[in-house]
Amino acid sequence: MLYDAIIVGGSFAGLSAALQLARARRNVLVIDAGMPRNRFASESHGVLGHDGKPGSELLATARAQLLAYPTAKIFSGRVSRVDTGEAGFVVEAEDGARWFTGRRLLLATGVSDVLPDIPGLRERWGQTVVHCPYCHGYEIGGGAVGVLGTGPMSVHQALMFADWGEVTLFTQGVVDVSAEERVQLAARKVRVEPSLIAELQGEMPALEGVLLQDGRRVAIKALLLGTQVRMASPLAEALGCAFDDSPFGPIVRIDAWGATSVDGVYAAGDMARVPHSITFATASGVAAGVRLHSSLITEDAQRGETAAA
Ligand SMILES: Cc1cc2nc3c(=O)[nH]c(=O)nc-3n(C[C@H](O)[C@H](O)[C@H](O)COP(=O)(O)OP(=O)(O)OC[C@H]3O[C@@H](n4cnc5c(N)ncnc54)[C@H](O)[C@@H]3O)c2cc1C
């Protein structure tokens, strides 16, 4: 069958887009590999009306609500390739085992976090090593915390994190702190530690401190890590979508409503905007779904067809 829209990525952005299209009685297929970015965290925070619920619970509810619409379908699997054809987009899933065709394509495949190779860090990701103070800072409950230097944003993150605890900024050999920034950090009572972190310590997943390469130990109960990210899927690049730089890594270039530089291809969520959160991803999915719908209406009107037929 020819779907009105195929959405690759069925997490917060993709399901939000799909919901708009299903409610417009459009045939929409969501293809999802089931690896949302926040799968390492046991709770989601800052989501209005759902504060503290597991991300998996939010997504399970969203999937069930979407599937109540007769024109919506979800296929669990990974899209390996997309070709453009006469009808629109030919989407290959599960390495050629399944093929689907859609008039429009919406990418909501998210990003992957690039985690520094420090012993004990990866295992604590999403628990005591956190990516965002708004998501997990409150639950840390104050006390001694750290910011792991990763680049130019790290000073800003240390200044900000001081609202959640007593911060040490570990420059980790990659952050140059200017004289002006030192004054700002001191005003926020942030300590600057130039010695590299050798390992994270404590009974997993708790964090009790970090061992520095010079042998000293600094007690902290949580580490903030503003990661660099990369596309979770190569599809946008393969389709020829234009990219922009962001402080966290490349993102797909979209207009205010989620249209990419490639005709008929839309993008939403973390892969196409910063900053990153469930709410931002959800909102951008709504925008892209509405914009995609509008393009279908225009095409149908030109062809003299009606959506409800
Ligand atoms: C550890 C951690 C904790 C977080 N906690 C919070 C929080 O508490 N509150 C908050 O607001 N935000 C939180 N975030 C941020 C939040 O997770 C993201 O902003 C949000 O998940 C982005 O949604 P998305 O739909 O754009 O992408 P994602 O949720 O990453 O989903 C992308 C989906 O696309 C699928 N996919 C990728 N490639 C393919 C393919 N080729 N074929 C099919 N499917 C594919 C993936 O499997 C995945 O299911 C957290 C992030 C991290 C890293």
Please report, for the domain that includes residue 250, its CATH number. Answer: 3.50.50.60
Do residues 254 and 266 touch, judged by C-beta distance below 8 A? yes
Confidence at residue 151, expressed as pLDDT on a 0 to 100 scale? 87
Given 172, 202, 224, which residue is the final one in a domain?
224
Task: Answer whether 149 contacts ligand 1 (Cβ < 6 A).
Answer: no
Are residue 238 and residue 280 in the same domain, yes or no? Answer: yes
From residue 154, alpha-carbon distances to 61, 151, 157, 183 in Å are 36, 6, 5, 15
Given 187, 206, 224, which residue is the final one in a domain?
224
Task: Answer whether 167 contacts ligand 1 (Cβ < 6 A).
Answer: no
Question: Which residue's CA lies nearest to atom 37 of ligand 1?
Answer: 109
Confidence at residue 305, expressed as pLDDT on a 0 to 100 scale? 59
Are residue 122 and residue 215 in the same domain, yes or no? Answer: yes
Within-domain flag for 272: yes
Q: CA 78, 83, 84, 85 torsion: positive or negative?
A: negative
Are residue 16 and residue 53 in the same domain, yes or no? Answer: yes
| CA 121/CA 141 separation, integer angstroms | 20
Quote the tokens at residue 15: 């399901």
Structural domain that includes position 32: 2-113+229-303
Are residue 92 and residue 67 in the same domain, yes or no? Answer: yes
Are residue 77 and residue 146 in the same domain, yes or no? Answer: no
Are residue 268 and residue 208 in the same domain, yes or no? Answer: no
Do residues 227 and 126 touch, judged by C-beta distance below 8 A? no
Do residues 111 and 230 touch, judged by C-beta distance below 8 A? yes
Task: Answer whether 264 contacts ligand 1 (Cβ < 6 A).
Answer: no
95: left (phi over 0), alpha (psi -120 to 50) or beta: left
Q: Which amino acid is at 95?
A: D
Q: How far is the CA of 110 from the centre of ligand 1 (A)?
A: 6
Task: Answer whether 232 contacts ligand 1 (Cβ < 6 A).
Answer: yes
Are residue 149 and residue 77 in the same domain, yes or no? Answer: no
From residue 86, alpha-carbon distances to 123, 161, 166, 302 in Å are 47, 52, 59, 17
Are residue 130 and residue 77 in the same domain, yes or no? Answer: no
Question: Which residue's CA lies nearest to atom 15 of ligand 1?
Answer: 277
Within-domain flag for 309: no
Are residue 92 and residue 145 in the same domain, yes or no? Answer: no
Within-domain flag for 40: yes
Q: Which atom of ligand 1 is nearest to the CA of 9?
A: 34
The residue to mutate among 38, 76, 82, 273, having the most atoms of ligand 1 within 8 angstroms of its beta carbon, is 38
Task: Answer whether 133 contacts ligand 1 (Cβ < 6 A).
Answer: no
Could you report the average pLDDT of every consecutive run of 10 residues in the chain (309 residues)?
Answer: 97 98 98 98 97 98 98 97 93 92 98 97 97 95 97 94 98 96 98 98 97 98 96 98 96 98 98 97 98 97 69
Do residues 257 and 288 touch, judged by C-beta distance below 8 A? yes
Are residue 103 and residue 241 in the same domain, yes or no? Answer: yes
Within-domain flag for 181: yes
Number of structural domains found in the chain: 2
Contacts 24+ apart (CB under 8 A), 167-174: 167/191, 168/144, 168/192, 168/193, 168/218, 168/220, 169/193, 170/146, 170/196, 170/197, 170/210, 172/116, 172/148, 172/196, 172/197, 173/149, 174/149, 174/150
Looking at residue 47, the DSSP 8-state letter turns out to be -
Given 172, 204, 224, which residue is the final one in a domain?
224
Within-domain flag for 172: yes
Question: Which residue's CA lies nearest to atom 3 of ligand 1?
Answer: 38
Do residues 260 and 253 touch, judged by C-beta distance below 8 A? yes
Confidence at residue 152, expressed as pLDDT on a 0 to 100 scale? 83
Task: Answer whether 281 contacts ligand 1 (Cβ < 6 A).
Answer: yes
Evaluate if pTM is beyond 0.85: yes
Residue 135 CB-density burial (10 A; 0-12 exposed, 13-18 middle, 19+ buried): buried
Within-domain flag for 308: no
Are residue 64 and residue 191 in the same domain, yes or no? Answer: no
Within-domain flag for 157: yes
Question: Which residue's CA lies nearest to atom 31 of ligand 1?
Answer: 36
Within-domain flag for 74: yes
Are residue 29 and residue 97 in the same domain, yes or no? Answer: yes
Task: Answer whether 44 contacts ligand 1 (Cβ < 6 A).
Answer: yes
